Amino acid sequence: MVRFLFASILFVAAATMGREATAQTNPIPRIEAAEGVFSEGLTAFDTSNFGLAFRRFQIVIDQYPFNRKTTAAWLMAGKSLYRNGAFRRATDFLSQFLNTYPTSGYLAEARRVRDFARTRLNERNRPIVKLGILLPAESQDLSRTQSLFNGIRLAVDDHNSAAGVDEAEIEMIFRNTRNEPEHAAQMVADLTNAGADMILGPLYSDEAIAAAEAAEKAGVVLVAPLATDEEVSDGHRFVFQTNPTLVMRGRLMARFAVQGLRLHEFGVVAELHDSVSERMAEGFEDEALRIDGDVRFFDLIESLREWYTVANSLGADSLREVEAVYLPVTPGDNPVQLMDGILTGLERIGVRTRVLGGKSWNNLPIVDRASIFQVTYTNDFLVDDSLQNVKVFKAQFAELAGHAPDRLAFTGYDVARFLIDAKIAHPEESFRQVLSGAARYQGLGMRIDFAGGNVNQALFYHRYRDGELQLIR
């Protein structure tokens, strides 16, 4: 059965406690907060604001799964979907309600609305695109998964509510990876058997590597939203990574330095045994050399503390021989202190070599000192709060989840929206080829551009200059 509400899956045990049969021995509590949200949903429904009504009733279901309004909220949420034209969603949602609450007093009304939805669905015969969602639902992963899933769900809602009469509707099919690579691979096969046209997930690299192998064998497109290990997509045709790999981040910084900043001579420093620092540095060196840059030195330091003395270790003469030095620092718990220490060391030996880096240099309160070295870095996530679509998303997410969206929520929305838009625009073409050649996507918080490959090559580029942090591309 298609699952629309991840939270409903998670709380199914609690929801089952709310059945009327159980209520005979366990009185159903009155929760004032749930009563208030339910009333807001009724007001929205009565004023024909059915999208808002659905989200309010859904909050009652998700956040207050055992209260006097539980079953009424399920029924009204189904009615809201029906009145909003989401007939397939209404059908599946109400079927889930009937299965979960077989003794509810609302059964007859729920069946009636479901039958209407089925009739309208058959009349319209709207094409369906099935989006498989492969995420862990274990307790330690719950908050991360819920946030990402809610972002995905809002992207699906936005498409389905705005889709034309003949345009495909998106269905979501959820499977739990259990945070186990072998099980994640099994669930790829399960999603494929369920008819998934594409799969979004898993979260972590170890799961994603296993799932990628299964997706490649099945010939179904799988898009990993967060994994940065290049093994996830390396050598695969059907597997994509929207979070640039560590090597790709280094490559993109080198490409920007040579082709965008017109720099040519570089030094590189990385921390030994820090896979993030090492892989980014290797990517930078490889790309710089490939495009005719000159890497004068590549030094490895042995510990985090050695970043504080890296200027003295390199020496003023070595630093004066290069136009920029790439420092992919993994700062630990004190990024401001560490980055300030690095720049202070450079200042003390009297050099003004430009500093290049990754997102660890982002938005530090040492703007003046960073401006001295025109610190320039890549960043994979940026939200402009002044944009109207960002404001709308924040409001929708707050209505749905009861709190502000985090980075995972924006990521879920952006990746899902990118996939949906690409699939809808090219329904008959090979989807892996469509994604590989798709135009650059500017989302709410991220950019996506596979540039003919299967690893995202779109980042933001910032620099500190004249006492300001600037977005330069």
307 neighbors 249 (Cβ within 8 angstroms): no
Q: What is the pLDDT of residue 22?
A: 41
Q: What is the pLDDT of residue 389?
A: 95
The residue among 344, 345, 382 whose CA lies nearest residue 363 is 382
Q: What is the pLDDT of residue 124?
A: 60
Gyration radius from the chain CA atoms: 26
Distance in angstroms (rounded) separating the CA atoms of residues 136 and 146: 10
Distance in angstroms (rounded) separating the CA atoms of residues 268 and 326: 5
Distance in angstroms (rounded) separating the CA atoms of residues 156 and 412: 10
Domain 6-232, CATH 3.30.499.10 — does that match? no
Residues 6+ apart with CB under 8 A from 13: none
Q: What is the pLDDT of residue 11?
A: 33
Q: What is the pLDDT of residue 119?
A: 84
Distance in angstroms (rounded) separating the CA atoms of residues 241 and 249: 13
Distance in angstroms (rounded) separating the CA atoms of residues 321 and 351: 11
CA dihedral 33, 38, 44, 45 (to 10 degrees): 180
* 3-state SS assignment for residue 28: coil
Q: How many residues does the chain have?
A: 473
pLDDT in tens, the chain (473 residues): 233 444 444 433 333 333 333 444 457 889 999 899 999 999 989 888 888 889 899 999 988 878 899 999 999 999 999 888 888 889 989 999 999 898 899 999 999 999 988 887 776 667 889 999 999 988 888 999 999 999 999 999 999 888 776 788 899 999 999 999 999 999 999 999 999 999 999 999 999 999 999 999 999 999 999 999 999 999 999 999 999 999 999 999 999 999 999 999 999 999 999 999 999 999 999 999 999 999 999 999 999 999 999 999 999 999 999 999 999 999 888 899 999 999 999 999 999 999 999 999 999 999 999 999 999 999 999 999 999 999 999 999 998 888 999 999 999 999 999 999 999 999 889 999 999 999 999 999 999 999 999 999 999 999 999 999 999 98
Sign of dihedral through CA atoms 12, 18, 19, 22?
A: positive
Spatial strand order in the sheet of 221-224: 169-176, 128-135, 198-200, 221-224, 239-241
* 3-state SS assignment for residue 249: helix
Q: What is the pLDDT of residue 21?
A: 39
CA dihedral 251, 415, 135, 142 (to 10 degrees): 100
Distance in angstroms (rounded) separating the CA atoms of residues 140 and 221: 27
Distance in angstroms (rounded) separating the CA atoms of residues 397 and 150: 7
Distance in angstroms (rounded) separating the CA atoms of residues 152 and 8: 15
> What predicted TM-score, i.e. pTM, was given to this entire model?
0.78
Q: Which helix (H) or strand (E) holds 173?
A: strand 169-176
Which tokens hold the place of 310? 């890296």
87 neighbors 163 (Cβ within 8 angstroms): no
Q: What is the pLDDT of residue 52?
A: 87
In this structure, how many other beta carbons lie within 10 angstroms of the beta carbon of residue 35? Answer: 15
Q: What is the pLDDT of residue 64?
A: 85
CATH code at 247-379: 3.40.50.2300
Q: Specify burial of residue 358 (Cβ count, 10 A radius: 0-12, 13-18, 19+).
A: buried
Quickly tell me which residue has 């892996």 as its tokens.
432
Q: What is the pLDDT of residue 85?
A: 80
CA distances from 428 to 316, 433, 434, 451 (A): 60, 11, 10, 21
Amino acid at 289: L
Q: Specify burial of residue 444 (Cβ count, 10 A radius: 0-12, 13-18, 19+).
A: buried
Q: Where are the domains of the chain?
A: 6-232, 247-379
φ, ψ dihedrals at 145, nearest 5° = -65, -45
User: Can you list the positions of beta strands (E) in 30-158?
Assistant: 128-135
Alpha helices by DSSP H, listed for 225-382, are: 246-255, 275-290, 310-314, 316-320, 335-348, 367-372
